[in-house]
Amino acid sequence: LVIADRGIRDVSDGAELLIALLKLIGSRCSVEDSLAVATHQLVRSHYGLDDNAIEVWQRCIERTRIRWGIDGPRRRRDGLDQPGLAAHTWWQGLERMLLGILLPDGTPEAALGGVVPLTGVDTADIESIAPLLSIVRVIDALDCLVNNDQSVGVWCDHFEQTLIQLIGDEAEELETVIYELDQLRRVATETKVPYHDIKTILITTLTAAVGHQPLRTGAITATSMIPLRAVPFRVICVAGFDEDVAETAASDHDNLVERQQLLGDSDPRVNLRRGFLDCVVSAQDQLIITCTGMSVSTNATLPLVTPLAEFIDFIGRHGVPLWDWNGEQFSNVEVFHPRHACSQRNFRVNEIRPDIIWSHDQKALHVATALGEPPHPIMAEPISAAPRTLIELSSLSAFLCDPLWPFVRETLAINPWRNDDVEIPATLPLMLSTYEQRELRDNYIQGYITSEKSEEFEESWTQAVRADGDVPIWGFGEAAIEEITGFAQAVVKQTDEDGLPLIKRQAERVRVEANDVQISGTLEFCQDDPMSLILLHPSAKNATQFRRSKYLALAQLLVAMVAGLPVKRAYVYSQHEKWSPGAVDDKGKPRKAVMVREVTLEDRINRQDSQHLIEKLCSLYQQAAVSAYSSFGKTAADFLTDPKKSRKSFSSFITYASYENSLEVVVHGRSPVFDDVFSDVKKQKAFFNKYLALTRFKPRTNIYSPE
């Protein structure tokens, strides 16, 4: 397959890099445009960058919240006249990365030059971040020149030197670019021109179609209609000749001639017909035209695009007969064939055209034959995985919350979290996402609790997050700061009143054994009350969010009892769902900031019972690790008692928006079938009878009561 109508950028990686560089320089320098240059294959090859280095870049860029602008003063050309505002710029982000490597992690506070070091950066990351620093420095040097007019020759020298710094002077891909720059130098004068003019000329040159089109290659040539005039071809196929092609798109540039059509101007509709006519007269043996004939939604016959309909009328007047199809008459040259190449109609005589089999694709025939067989239930087969010898408490609690967790997260090693590759906008953030605020809050609470001088810590932390852009600027982040600091004060006060001061919280590592499986984890309790576990989970605001915390508390209580610890209860401290600074209830009273939930075991459960329960849970965990057991919300519970109701629960669960983020969608896809998921009735009931009995709490309480 040969592709014609391609510009220089399509056949030269060096030209592609230069175009990306020209678009970046003088712009807002967004993350997407900057990485288009920094991660170009030529740049990566020159600096020896691998995928791990790019991952380090992306992680650090996200954590430093770089948005746009190389530095504060240069934002003025885009309308932001605040040179002292360095938040979310490239240089501030890079300085934070470097200081984070050089300085040890500690309390967030301004260091050298008022820059707050980025925490959690390893010294080994310097090998990845150093090339990014060099690349940004090269881009910065060229970007500083855009405000001054230069002669064309000087501009070309700057571009050439910048490319050499980015990809080296021995790169073969530079030849095409240097040739184009030399051509521009040769015809230019010493008149100084602005950067925008030279940028427009170069981009137009590098994106324009080359003069010689490879049409006589003997291969299939994909091209536009432009080069077909007076060039004979044996077979021509006009692909996708639909309404979208014939529509006159609205002009999005400053060409006033195209914006306003006057008498005597070129008509796009006439140009389309002329191009189509060139295709018709250039075909020597056969002309094939494809278009969408049936509506995808209604399966109704769609009208042909106007030039094609006129062509059908023309050949009809010159002797082409009509034929009947679905009660309508069509020209004998019109063929209605299935949209899919694997349709069985393509391989039957008289289905598409009289006396012939339409398709000759053997691979498509094989697929069509297989599709004609009765469907087999799609059921995840057991995987012969080695039995677990060690289960972490966090894994056990995740299994108690969702039986699919061991199969998806451990056996398949799939992390279902995804951000759908959201593009980082080139704007200043004026609000925090839920994830960003949660990270800020958790880090602040940890530092606030351990700080000897809480007021000084609060002040230094507030100044740091304002300076480094962790909270929105211009006062938009003050509400988040007030909420985070207010909750920290409230939870410390609440735990002190409960006799469980967080400052005296200590962690103890425990390990117990059940059925040759060791369960290991960390328990946190107060020195003043060894009978109470403390779980500080601010995000567990509503019942759904609290569910994971509740099962973690349950797992810790069972393991603590097996280990012989005198633990009787677990307190979960979280932020109240309806609280915010200054919020009041219906009676005008201030709402409580902290919600305390107590999780306990039923009084009848002793150490021996806990041992048996842990053994049964570990046995179920091993089963769930080798075969998928999907609960689909309440479907599994209803499946044991009311099969008809379980089908309704199943249908409801897969229609919720949250299904896209569930583990079930990883295993069964977006359109699961109830009979396929629960095809092995005996096996499913045997598992879920035990699972639901072992994970049962008393209704509307947090008291664990297994059956």
Contact 562, 607 (CB under 8 A): yes
Condensed to tens digits (0 to 9), the pLDDT of residues 285-329 reads 899 999 988 887 777 888 898 899 999 999 999 999 998 887 888
- Structure token digits, residue 221: 């040539």
User: Residues 684, 689, 690, CA angle at the centre, nearest 5°?
Assistant: 110
Condensed to tens digits (0 to 9), the pLDDT of residues 666-695 reads 999 888 999 999 999 999 999 999 999 999
The CATH architecture to which 221-252+265-371 belongs is 3-Layer(aba) Sandwich (3.40)
| Nearest to 75, CA basis, from 62, 64, 88, 94 | 88
Contact 268, 257 (CB under 8 A): no
**393 pLDDT band (50/70/90 cuts)?**
very high
Q: Across 222-226, 403-407, 431-435, which has the greatest mean pLDDT? A: 403-407
Q: What is the pLDDT of residue 640?
A: 92
CB-hemisphere CA count at 13 Å for 619? 13
Q: 606 in the Ramachandran plot: left (φ > 0), alpha (ψ -120 to 50) or beta?
A: beta
Q: How many CB atoms lie within 10 A of CB 234?
A: 9
**Average pLDDT score over residue span 373-394:** 68
Distance between first and last Cα of the chain = 68
Q: What is the pLDDT of residue 452?
A: 82
**451 pLDDT band (50/70/90 cuts)?**
confident
Burial class (CB in 10 A: 0-12, 13-18, 19+), 15: buried
> With the C-alpha atoms ordered 97, 102, 107, 111, is the resulting torsion angle positive or negative?
negative
Compute and round to an integer the Cα radius of gyration of the chain.
34
Q: Where are the extended beta strands (E) located within 307-403?
A: 322-325, 328-331, 390-392
DSSP state, residue 369: H
Rounded to two decimals, the pTM is: 0.72
CB-hemisphere CA count at 13 Å for 330? 15
Q: What is the pLDDT of residue 196?
A: 93
Contact 110, 467 (CB under 8 A): yes
Residue found under tokens 């445009």 = 33
Amino acid residing at 702: N
Condensed to tens digits (0 to 9), the pLDDT of residues 172-198 reads 888 888 988 998 998 888 899 999 999
Q: What is the pLDDT of residue 385?
A: 59
The alpha carbon of 523 is separated from its chain's Cα centroid by a whole number of angstroms, namely 35
Q: CA 556 to CA 525: how far, in whole Å? A: 11
Condensed to tens digits (0 to 9), the pLDDT of residues 117-171 reads 888 888 889 999 999 999 999 999 999 999 999 999 999 999 999 999 999 988 8
**In the chain, domain spans:** 2-207, 221-252+265-371, 609-704
CATH tag for 2-207 (out of 3.40.1380.10, 3.30.70.270, 1.10.486.10, 3.90.420.10): 1.10.486.10
